[in-house]
Structure 1
């Protein structure tokens, strides 16, 4: 598959997953009434998906490194589209929950592949623009999703919402499976015990963060299995997480920034909804209009970030962006005026969009090509765990009765703490040296004596 078609597939795959999540939120009240479901059952339509996708992302990325990212992308797209079609015709909420879990499994297959394909198709010094395009497309879907979902739910009904992605998923999935993957001289062994331990750890962690009944037991289980996973990885000959990826300080810092940024954003949006509607008395439609600058600036920040990465490097770019994100959340917590609220959302969108492009660029670029799937899986795991963490923090602090101001202040502090991680990221000189003098994609030629 040529680079342009690879980029198009990566963008559409990322958009399908993002759009599915945003329109589901709009469709849930109607789904609950139509299927006579309880609130707990409706919650599981989201939680079941989150647990499935978060627990399998890293293993799916490793599987893509071994079998080919286009193949995993194709299987993931076909399965995701088929599960979506099944939800549209589901006779009961139990079927919806089960098919959402299936969507999570197939989503875990395709999401790391969207980044792994880019890493294999583009040289390191040309990854900025493809990742920026991908991020901008996700921003557009975040803006369009609620509006499109609302129109469909109000018109044909919630079932039509799940038919949106069926055709593009089937077409691109079939096309991806026609690509013959490049042969790997010595494919990495699959660390199945490590994959099972990591999957159980992440599944229990997500379960605990969404505060479902029994969260103490799942949190304890996550701690035990997490320790067992670390011990196993240190002893096995073929670890699930290669040292070339997790041994990189830059990659670890970039992943930490993605967790902090996505947690701050999602938690702020959750608390901001109560601020706009309960504290300030805005109706849902006006609240959506006030928050629209967030999506607009997120889209605009993506291409701007590609330029900043080239000129000043990831270190300064991410530190400034995280500070901007924190500032936007603080402004949101302090002002009732509509113009300043719009400004706050614009700052949040610009900061988050920039961090997402820059940190993702570091994770994908710093990883060797043969471990691109693992790097993509780690990036997607960070982007799934972060929002769950942010909403959990916001929910706990809103329960204190002090209003949205306290959780928004804490989330702004979290964003500022994430900015400190940017010190470990490469600067402009480091990036230039790696691109032009010591790229991981270039074969070293011994100096002649």
Structure 2
């Protein structure tokens, strides 16, 4: 086994086949969180495969060589454990939470899920219908629609623009052979991280991982080239919605750049009720009940995102005010906003540090992006060291790149043209 750079309470080793093993010792925690993470998500899919990572994630729970669907849940619940999974653009995660003494069994059960699913035909057809219902719900959600439009406008033809759930036509088409082949190609040692956080018996955990994953094929890393930012305006009217939903944003560097300026800029602009965004848009102007700003940063690229919901007649005012606020930040970042943003990010990171599974997932994403794990104190120190001028310059760079704007829901006629005209005037 080979080790990598990590905080003092974190141990990272690598099996000969490339599987990385992460252990985060948290002796004060009385449960254990175990995860198997695979560098495989919608960003790793072709257009014809879009949605297959999510389909596979659902189907592994429908039966393995050792357990049928009921037995998967029963074996976990007999130990009091919870089992769950999620798919994202950059990875898929399978997790269990239980007692530290049961960690070796939890590892074996997770390995059975990700290494030996059988994808039974009858279960596949039932789950296909579940996914189609999920697809319908997603299509009917105006905010989800706005985010999908936003991603496509941001990243153009790049796979990062694809949704996790994928298009309906793909869900209807995927068969067992496609799922088996995708699992074989993507779920390999070079892309798998097995982690545990809590009051962990490290030797017992590492031995369980080696026994369960040591024979996994090595494969090759699922690497994706960084996208080229496109930008632009996208709109879609949806019946049944009484509000208009806006997503506005700009490109940010990915996690691999280790550049905290964009994350801090998002906190400065829209974190909390006293932030410029919330104070101006909601408190002073009453243009939206809900608005927020965040930095969504993946390994290869990131997005600075402002989202808001408003009445159709107030879209122009909302957009004009938001752009004016962004321009003001590109001129000068107030000291009190910078201080507030840094403090809020520090507290958020420290709270995450206290949650075993959140620490585990953050560590895995660090590993995928940089090959090491960033210590919480180091991360907070990096944020605290960013001067106002660097944040101001980040706003200026974003504005120079040009915005991406997506609108969905109840929209006035020619909403896209009106937005483009407003941008040209601004």
Structure with a larger share of its residues in strand: 2
Question: What TM-score, normalized by structure 2, do the two folds share?
Answer: 0.32
Structure with a larger share of its residues in helix: 1
Larger radius of gyration: 2
Question: What TM-score, normalized by structure 1, do the two folds share?
Answer: 0.31
